[in-house]
């Protein structure tokens, strides 16, 4: 993977959630969600990059996964589908 990427934490629903951005000149954006919770989604960036060179790509470590989990130690009771969907709705409106 080339070094043209940025990482950030964004406050969403009371916790810091991790994003890895791989920019492109396109206006199109693909948000990579994984089946989590558990492992990070960003480890797939290296494998996906050759196939996603037509758009901006955002890897999102959702609540309970990857670098979001490392920073927040999310409790199992906050891993409901409703809470995780609310997180996604909030980040997509930013």
pLDDT(30) > 70:
yes
Residues near 83 by beta carbon (within 8 Å), at least 6 away in sequence: 13, 63
* C-alpha radius of gyration, the chain, whole number: 13
Confidence class for position 65, pLDDT limits 50, 70, 90? confident
The 10 Å Cβ neighbour count of residue 26 is: 11
Can you tell me the mean pLDDT for 54-82? 88
- What is the model's pLDDT at position 56? 92
pTM for the structure as a whole: 0.81
pLDDT(77) > 90:
no
Confidence class for position 53, pLDDT limits 50, 70, 90? confident
Mean pLDDT in the chain?
Answer: 84
The 10 Å Cβ neighbour count of residue 66 is: 23
Q: Which residue has the higher pLDDT, 57 or 36?
A: 57
How do the domains of the chain map onto residue ranges? 6-92
- Distance, CA of 87 to CA of 94 (rounded, Å): 11
Longest alpha-carbon distance in the chain: 40
């Amino acid at each position: 993977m080339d070094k043209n990427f940025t990482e950030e934490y964004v406050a969403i629903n009371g916790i810091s959630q991790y994003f890895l951005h791989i920019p492109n000149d396109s206006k199109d954006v693909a948000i990579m969600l994984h089946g989590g919770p558990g492992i990070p989604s960003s480890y797939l960036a290296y494998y996906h990059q050759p196939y996603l060179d037509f758009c901006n790509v955002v890897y999102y470590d959702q609540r309970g996964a990857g670098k979001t989990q490392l920073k927040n130690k999310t409790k199992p009771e906050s891993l409901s589908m409703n809470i995780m969907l609310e997180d996604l709705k909030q980040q997509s409106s930013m």
